[in-house]
Amino acid sequence: MKTPPSSEPKGYIPSKLSLRGVGKYFHARGRSLQALDNISLDVSEGEFVCLLGPSGCGKSTLLNIIAGLEQADAGSLLCDGEAVASPGRERMMMFQESALFPWLDVLDNVLFSLRLKPGMNAAERRETAEFYLRLVGLERFHHAFVHELSGGMKQRVALARALAPNPRILLMDEPFAALDALTREQLYGDLQRIWRERRKTILFVTHNVREAVCLGDRVVLLSPHPGRIQRQFSIELPRPRDISSVEVARHATEITAALKGTERHAEEAA
């Protein structure tokens, strides 16, 4: 157990994730592009944070840095007080495309993410994979192959696969963006239930304002060129939330106005 700095008040809870002044540049075809500038963000244990912003504002880059898939060029990133430099089992990522292995069935796809988990025998791995497939509602599809699944079912398998090693942090990059509205709504309900039951810390990237309001305790609005934190919105609505509710729409209207401001700003700067 880590002791908090002595200057902190009693009852101090350290951040699960702490970013300070994170910056990132890309170099392509002789040009340098600043993707992120001075990103500072604290995420508490168990918090559900949505990163919202227009395409190209650096959301994926930021998530990849937190995942350890990319390195920041400036600033620091701590997870549980330790510097993050590489991917780790405590931070699992989920993408827009399910990225499942087509030659494996559903159960084997989930088992794959447990292959490096130490201290588990084959029976325990199987039990764990089955548990998470049940959690995402796919208990009857263990032996289906990827091409036999709908888009929503593929994302459910990808979610079970990300959850199976029991990460503390789930990093989700527009995981539902390619799905139809009805399937997405079911997944919003399931994700909120799983987040509560399994007590995960979730960072969820989206460009969909209502989605961000429906899911997040907090919505972090990024503006582009370079990606910066523009504003943060705390969403204090009871759960489970319904994306079609008046309350979600009300918050979404306010955030959309701020988002339009960032886009106008970016056009003027370009």
Query: 33, 85, 99, 257: which one contacts ligand ADP (CB under 6 A)?
Result: 33
Closest distance of CB 58 from Mg ion, Å: 8
Which range touches ligand ADP (CB under 6 A), out of 48-56, 118-126, 146-154, 164-172?
A: 48-56
Nearest-angstrom CA–CA distance, 80 and 42: 11
Closest distance of CB 267 from ligand ADP, Å: 15
Give whichever of 60 and 113 is closer to Mg ion, judged by the CB atom: 60
Give yes or no for a contact between 41 and 17, defined as CB atoms under 8 angstroms apart.
yes
How many residues at the interface with ligand ADP, by CB under 6 A? 12
Which range touches ligand ADP (CB under 6 A), out of 51-59, 157-165, 209-217, 235-243?
A: 51-59
- 33's contact among Mg ion, ligand ADP, none, with CB below 5 to 8 A by partner kind, is ligand ADP
How many other CB atoms sit within 10 Å of the CB of residue 126?
A: 16
Nearest-angstrom CA–CA distance, 87 and 10: 33
| Dihedral-angle region of residue 137 (phi above 0 means left; psi in -120 to 50 means alpha; beta otherwise) | left
Question: What helix, strand, coil percent values describe the chain, rounded to 5?
Answer: 35, 25, 40
Give whichever of 58 and 152 is closer to Mg ion, judged by the CB atom: 58
Which range touches ligand ADP (CB under 6 A), out of 49-57, 71-79, 163-171, 258-266?
A: 49-57
Nearest-angstrom CA–CA distance, 122 and 86: 27
Which stretch of DSSP H or E encloses residue 212?
helix 209-215
How many residues at the interface with Mg ion, by CB under 5 A? 1
Give whichever of 61 and 201 is closer to ligand ADP, judged by the CB atom: 61
Closest distance of CB 229 from ligand ADP, Å: 13
Strands (DSSP E) found in 84-145? 91-94
Nearest-angstrom CA–CA distance, 218 and 215: 9
Give whichever of 95 and 132 is closer to ligand ADP, judged by the CB atom: 95
Task: Decide: is 201 part of the binding site for Mg ion (CB under 5 A).
Answer: no
Sheet containing 228-234, strands listed edge to edge, beginning at the edge strand earlier in sequence? 91-94, 169-173, 201-206, 48-52, 218-223, 228-234
Binding mask 45-64 for Mg ion (x = CB under 5 A): ---------------x----
Residue with the two structure tokens 């139809």: 180
Task: Decide: is 58 part of the binding site for ligand ADP (CB under 6 A).
Answer: yes
Q: Which residues bind to ligand ADP, rule: CB under 6 A?
A: 26, 28, 33, 35, 53, 55-61
Chain positions contacting Mg ion, by CB under 5 A: 60
